[in-house]
Amino acid sequence: MTRFALTIEFDGGPFCGLQRQDHSPSVQQAIEEAAHAVTGEDITLHSAGRTDSGVHALAMRSHMDIEKDIQPFRLMEALNAHLRPVPVAVIGCEVKPDGWHARFSCVGRSYKYRIRNRRAPLTIEKGRAWHIARDCDAGAMHEAAQHLVGVHDFTTFRSAHCQAKDPVKTLDRLDVSREGDAIIVRAAARSFLHHQVRSMVGCLALVGQGQWRTDQVAEALEAKDRAALGLNAPPEGLYFVAAHYEDDD
């Protein structure tokens, strides 16, 4: 039995999310079916994180255990051949020790959220960014974001369906910058609560549009109450960027 670590890129639009669901197609289902076609084995995919319907990934880390004797490059090529035409691609594959786990060995995760801030509707990026027509002050958004960095009880910014036992998380980074008519929010932490990034971005967008003061984000945080949340940003602007491990170069 060999443990293969995969790096996966996907467009979340057609899926109910990464994790397998009974009622809708998922990224996990697509990859597991491709792996079965390649190996003839019933294989379970384990991933560094979960993503909601519509959320994308640039480099999700996952692993699967395979009995078949196959080289990593050949496995990657075979999986991609069977994944066509769904918008999922394996962009990296390597062998890992048995004790390595895509989820439990992960020591950090990073996301970015993409906002297109322009009057014109989206065409090429429709479904891949949040369109906000009203002018946003990215500087004010970044200032407000710094209230959330550090160790906090993020109850306000967690989904009502979040299964995490503890709402206290350490947010290592939350930066906002403007790149032309795009506003990029970058977040990094060891782990996140369900909907945490989208909830934080939604409140920062209210600040950017002048509907909230910068310190209202801190007030929402201190409330420790989901009712204090101003807005949950839509899923299509969110990207899982990377999972980090102690054995990374």
Just list the catalytic residues.
52
What's the full length of the chain, in residues?
249
Torsion sign across C-alpha atoms 36, 41, 42, 47: negative
The C-alpha angle with vertex 222 and arms to 144 and 201, in degrees rounded to 5, equals 40
Distance between CA atoms of residues 131 and 115, nearest Å = 6
Q: What is the 3-state secondary structure (H, E, C) of 170-190?
A: EEEEEEEEEECCEEEEEEEEC
Q: Which amino acid is at 124?
A: I
Q: Of 94, 109, 25, 86, nearest to 64 (Cα)? A: 94
